[in-house]
A and B are shown apart, each in its own frame.
Chain A
Amino acid sequence: MLESIVFSVLNGLLYGMLLFMLASGLTLIFGMMGVLNFAHASFYMLGAYCAYTISSYTNFWVALILAPLFVGFLGALTERFGLRNVHKHGHVAELLLTFGLVYVIDELVVLIWGQIPVNYAIPPSLDFTLFTLFGTSFPAYRAFILFVAVAMFVAIYLLLVRTRVGMIIRAALSHPEMVGALGHDVPRIFTLVFAFGTGLAGLAGVMAGNYYITEPGMAFSMGPIVFVVVVFGGLGSLGGALAASLIIGLVTTFAVSLNYSVADLLAAVGLGLDGENIAGGLAHIDLSRIGQMLPYLMMVLILIFRPRGLMGARES
């Protein structure tokens, strides 16, 4: 039991931190610019594919630096030549643009790299067992993912709260005219924020692409859950995104490892249920089978009872 709990916590933390790497960029962009970037997971996928291509010519460490920069650059182009132009037509136009971008990037990835997964491997220097606990080994790469995610959170936090740049960014969010009147180039700040956010998605792709699988469906499979994290944590809140990522990571992991059904719990307190009637049948479904559904359920519940999310600043 103890080993199962320890590993569930470790696995949950890791999954949560990976989610956070992805969600932080999305929530930043939304918080700063009010743009809900549907294509965020697509930039994540681009990060993984770019890292694969770059690392096949050089090595993983070069890719770790260059791929996020490149994805961020693509993000900057998107903002400068796409979003900025439709900005005057309101949020719906921006939303539609990023929505269309999802399909464009999906098709481009298939055109360039093909439908079949690419062989983006964990670098040999990180491909070893860090420690073994209860007979299960903990790979060094996982520790590296955790390390990068934590470093990322700290860096973003310090950047936003402790630096002059962060101050201007936050000011541009709430009082763009005032910041513009003070001589700052607000549109350029927006471009930078968007580039930074998509760059973070790219970084998440670099880290997760080889840990999972780099294939054209990866954006599709990651997209919805990232939105859940951001909504659950509160749109625009970095701390909320961190908390929501960890909660969702832990909940899905524990749901699998506990593997009990409602019926088991009822039986434990002395209430037997047979699987014959519908209620009994539902109660007999193992938690692990519905574990992946729990985050969505949590999102629905939080939207009903606390629409601004865990730590969101605004009501709508």
Chain B
Amino acid sequence: MKHYKGLVRRAVAAVGVAAALAVPTLGSAADDTIKIGYIDPLSGPFANVGDAGLKHFKYLAERINADGGILGKDVEIIGYDNKSSAQESLQILREAADEGVQYITQGNGSHVGGALVDGVEKHNRRNPDNRMVFLNYAAVDPALTGEKCSFWHFRFDANSAMKLQAITDYMAEQDDIKKVFLINMDYSHGQAISRIAKEMLKEKRPDIEIVGDVLHPVGKVKDFSPYISQIQSSGADTVISGNWGNDLSLLVKAGAQGGLDVDWYTYYAGGLGTPTALGKAGAEHVKMLTEWQENLVEEYEAPELREILEEFEQRYEGIEFYYLRIKTQMDMLQQAMEKAGSTDPLAVARALEGMTMETPFGTVTMREQDHQLLQPLFISTFSEDYPKYDSEGSGLGWVMNAKLDAASTAVDSVCEMKRPSS
């Protein structure tokens, strides 16, 4: 028993020390920084995705700071681990507000994005002196800029409906597509794809047959071979999937192992470990729709992006520059703050509305009606025969197939924005 007490005491002491080390020293960050709270999974099955996003933000913030910051203030990125949970994220939101964070950003999971839109709305109503702006870099459920739209939410990624519009526009021109299979993750994002893809294909190519439409649990399936058998027996020649992270890698990998001969139209095959996991399994068969892939700098004049992609890769071994939209987001935030001459959330949000910006690939616009960014999108194929940059040292790279102009990707929104009067 004596031993046991000793053990407990030592354990308590150890926990105390650990806690002291883990809690960041409060008040150490000066008030003259612009704090951006990054709320995404930093542990669990999607930790790799969340970690890579955080590195993008930190890297881009450093670049801004090296250039003198925004309005003379440094940008500080604070990472919070939400473990992919909406509940956890709302708690973090309160915590961040207490720490003086006025800008939050999140991307992984529209279920979390939706909770944060609500959370920020409520917070701003209750605390008109301490408002927050939500910059969404990747949660693509159309509802967030549709029926659920909020004045405090800005989305810098094309939403799912826009991506599907672009994908189906491209598919409509591919005459060899006859049978399409939909497989998606079972939450708002995947459900939206399943619904919208069917509508759009029916309209653009009524001759295409939808031979399957499956939703699977998020992050829980280890072995996708039963799904592959299903796709195989459906006779599909094309699969559309909005899967991301390991749910995409495992799916395509299982497909290659099962000898499945289809074209994959995806959103997220381009980075964050997925190319590594795909390897040769994905060659010539995996396509993606994105606002960016490395070999675009070979097609367009973009010296700054070339520098970023090379520097980023050198700096973070194994991770490549994947989110051009995070750069767009940071650049537009900077412009909006400079235009407003202040970092006050309301003034900045007003400045962001309707803002346009030139990028190497064309003009981007933050649509006033629903706070959805319109930007050029590209369809690319994963190939052994790529222009210059391979993806994650896999020996395969992305080849651009088509560019879709910002205007052509626009999809009407049902958003009726309620704007604060003061």
Bound Cα distance A76, B104 (Å): 46
Contacts of B219 in A (CB 8 A): 221
Question: From DSSP, what is the main secondary structure of chain A's interface residues?
Answer: helix
- A15 and B222 contact, CB distance less than 8 A: yes
Most interface-central of B46, B259, B393 (chain A CB within 10 A): B259
Contacts of B230 in A (CB 8 A): 4, 256-257, 259
Taking the nearest CB of chain B, how far is it from the CB of A49, in angstroms?
Answer: 14
- B276 and A119 contact, CB distance less than 8 A: yes
- B222 and A253 contact, CB distance less than 8 A: no
Would A116 and B276 be within 8 Å (CB), given that A89-B7, A137-B259, A217-B46 are in contact?
yes
B273 at the interface (CB under 8 A from A): yes
Taking the nearest CB of chain B, how far is it from the CB of A119, in angstroms?
Answer: 5
Which of B118-126, B144-152, B245-253, B262-270 is found at the contact surface with chain A? Answer: B245-253
A189 at the interface (CB under 8 A from B): no
Taking the nearest CB of chain A, how far is it from the CB of B214, in angstroms?
Answer: 6
B225 at the interface (CB under 8 A from A): yes
Taking the nearest CB of chain B, how far is it from the CB of A56, in angstroms?
Answer: 12
Q: Please tell me the number of chain A residues within 8 Å of chain B, measured between CB atoms.
A: 53
Would A292 and B220 be within 8 Å (CB), given that A121-B279, A137-B258 are in contact?
yes
- B246 and A213 contact, CB distance less than 8 A: yes
Contacts of A129 in B (CB 8 A): 259
For window 67-97 of B, CB contacts with A under 8 Å fall at none
Which of B47-55, B299-307, B325-333 is found at the contact surface with chain A? Answer: B47-55
Which of A6-14, A163-171, A275-283 is found at the contact surface with chain B? Answer: A6-14
Residue from B52, B217, B229, B249 in contact with A8 in the complex, judged by beta carbons closer than 8 Å? B229
A272 at the interface (CB under 8 A from B): no
Bound Cα distance A137, B255 (Å): 10
- B226 and A118 contact, CB distance less than 8 A: no
Bound Cα distance A213, B272 (Å): 13
Contact with A along B31-57 (1 / 0, CB 8 A): 000000000000111111001100000
Contact with A along B206-224 (1 / 0, CB 8 A): 0000000011110111110
Residue from A18, A89, A211 in contact with B3 in the complex, judged by beta carbons closer than 8 Å? A89
B356 at the interface (CB under 8 A from A): no
Residue from A117, A216, A225, A256 in contact with B227 in the complex, judged by beta carbons closer than 8 Å? A256
B161 at the interface (CB under 8 A from A): no
A125 at the interface (CB under 8 A from B): no
Contact with A along B300-319 (1 / 0, CB 8 A): 00000000000000000111
Taking the nearest CB of chain A, how far is it from the CB of B159, in angstroms?
Answer: 24
- B319 and A116 contact, CB distance less than 8 A: yes
Contacts of A291 in B (CB 8 A): 217
Contact with B along A291-309 (1 / 0, CB 8 A): 1110000000000000000
- A217 and B52 contact, CB distance less than 8 A: no
Would A7 and B48 be within 8 Å (CB), given that A137-B258, A259-B214, A289-B186 are in contact?
no
A162 at the interface (CB under 8 A from B): no
- A115 and B48 contact, CB distance less than 8 A: yes
B232 at the interface (CB under 8 A from A): yes
Most interface-central of A11, A86, A139, A257 (chain B CB within 10 A): A11
Contacts of A221 in B (CB 8 A): 45, 219-220, 222
Would A135 and B48 be within 8 Å (CB), given that A89-B7, A117-B273, A256-B227 are in contact?
no
Contacts of A217 in B (CB 8 A): 44-48, 246
Taking the nearest CB of chain B, how far is it from the CB of A268, in angstroms?
Answer: 20
Taking the nearest CB of chain B, how far is it from the CB of A70, in angstroms?
Answer: 23
Would A116 and B52 be within 8 Å (CB), given that A221-B45, A259-B214 are in contact?
yes
B422 at the interface (CB under 8 A from A): no
B359 at the interface (CB under 8 A from A): no
Taking the nearest CB of chain B, how far is it from the CB of A291, in angstroms?
Answer: 8
A288 at the interface (CB under 8 A from B): yes
Bound Cα distance A256, B251 (Å): 14
Residue of B nearest to A119 (CB): B276
Would A213 and B217 be within 8 Å (CB), given that A115-B51, A115-B52 are in contact?
no
Contact with B along A248-262 (1 / 0, CB 8 A): 000011101101000
Contacts of A121 in B (CB 8 A): 279
For window 194-214 of B, CB contacts with A under 8 Å fall at 214
Contacts of A254 in B (CB 8 A): 226
Bound Cα distance A128, B318 (Å): 28
- B48 and A216 contact, CB distance less than 8 A: yes
B421 at the interface (CB under 8 A from A): no
- B7 and A117 contact, CB distance less than 8 A: no
Residue from A86, A117, A257 in contact with B276 in the complex, judged by beta carbons closer than 8 Å? A117
B257 at the interface (CB under 8 A from A): yes
Would A3 and B233 be within 8 Å (CB), given that A116-B48, A289-B217, A292-B220 are in contact?
yes
- A213 and B277 contact, CB distance less than 8 A: yes
Bound Cα distance A126, B393 (Å): 23
A316 at the interface (CB under 8 A from B): no
A114 at the interface (CB under 8 A from B): yes
12 chain-A/chain-B pairs, Cβ below 8 angstroms: A3-B229, A7-B229, A11-B226, A116-B319, A119-B393, A134-B232, A142-B257, A213-B249, A221-B222, A257-B230, A292-B220, A292-B221
Binding site for A on B (CB under 8 A): 3-4, 7, 43-48, 51-52, 186, 214-217, 219-223, 225-230, 232-233, 246, 249-250, 253, 257-260, 272-273, 276-277, 279, 317-319, 392-394
With A4-B230, A116-B48, A134-B233 given, can you name 11 additional A-B contacts, CB distance below 8 Å?
A3-B233, A89-B7, A117-B273, A215-B246, A217-B44, A253-B223, A253-B225, A256-B226, A286-B215, A289-B216, A293-B217
